[in-house]
A and B are shown apart, each in its own frame.
Chain A
Amino acid sequence: NAGVTQTPKFQVLKTGQSMTLQCAQDMNHNSMYWYRQDPGMGLRLIYYSASEGTTDKGEVPNGYNVSRLNKREFSLRLESAAPSQTSVYFCASRSTGVGEAFFGQGTRLTVV
C-alpha cells in the first residue's frame, strides 16, 4: 500500500522556470492538500481540493496553481519560479469529515 506518492523528490530550478509537482494517493480519499514547510514556520497550506472537481486557496497561494486531475491525483504548478519558493513541499490526503491526513515524503525544491 503506497499511500501518498510525490514526484520528484528533489528539484533545482532557475528563477523564471516552470515545473509541476505530482501527487497521487491510493486510499480513495476525497480531500487532497498541498503544503509548504519552511524552517521555523511549520506547514502552511497552499491549496486544497475538498473533493474531485473543486479546488480552493489556502494561506499562501500566490505564485502557484493546482489541478485535481481525478480523485487520485492533485498536481501543483509553479509557472515562474522565484527564490522565495525554495521550500519543502508536501502533498496530503484525507477522507472528508474528521480524520487524520496522510502525507507524502515531500519534494525538496531549490530555486536559484
Chain B
Amino acid sequence: EDQVTQSPEALRLQEGESSSLNCSYTVSGLRGLFWYRQDPGKGPEFLFTLYSAGEEKEKERLKATLTKKESFLHITAPKPEDSATYLCAVQAEANDYKLSFGAGTTVTVRA
C-alpha cells in the first residue's frame, strides 16, 4: 500500500521567513512525485513533477527536491499570496493510473 505523509500539518510564517514542507513516501517503485497547491474552495492546482532522486524543480519562490524517501517544498521569502494548502502525491510503477495523496500542509503567510 502506497503511503504519503506530509509535515507539518500547518505552518504559520511571517512574510519573508523562508521554510520547508516535508513529504515522506513509501511506494514500490516511484514513477513520479507531484506537488499541488490548493486554495480554499478550489481544486488542486499542479505545481511540479519529480521523477528521480536528486531532481529539483523551481517556480518563483518555490523549489521542490526529491530523495529516495522524501520530497521537500522550499518556500523562499514567502509572500501572503503563497498562503494555501500544499499537497503531495505519488504515482507507483505498479499502478501508474493511481495517484496517492498526503493530507497536505496548510501554509499561512502574515504580512
Contacts and interface: CB of A to CB of B under 8 A. Distances in A.
A103 interface: yes
A53 interface: no
Interface stretch (A11-19, A38-46, A65-73, A74-82): A38-46
A48 B44 CA distance: 17
B98 A58 contact: yes
Contacts of B96: 96-98
B78 interface: no
Contacts of B102: 42
B42 A100 contact: no
Interface residues of A, number: 27
Contacts, number: 57
B49 A48 contact: no
Contacts of A99: 49
B31 interface: yes
A64 to B, nearest CB: 16
A51 to B, nearest CB: 9
30 contacts: A31-B97, A42-B4, A42-B87, A42-B101, A42-B102, A42-B104, A43-B101, A44-B101, A45-B99, A45-B100, A48-B97, A48-B98, A56-B97, A58-B98, A90-B43, A90-B44, A98-B32, A98-B49, A99-B49, A100-B34, A100-B49, A101-B34, A101-B89, A103-B36, A103-B44, A103-B45, A105-B43, A106-B41, A106-B42, A106-B43
Given A48-B98, A90-B44, 11 more contacts: A35-B101, A40-B9, A43-B87, A45-B98, A90-B43, A96-B96, A98-B49, A98-B51, A98-B96, A100-B49, A103-B44
Interface of B: 4, 9, 31-32, 34, 36, 41-46, 49, 51, 87, 89, 91, 96-104
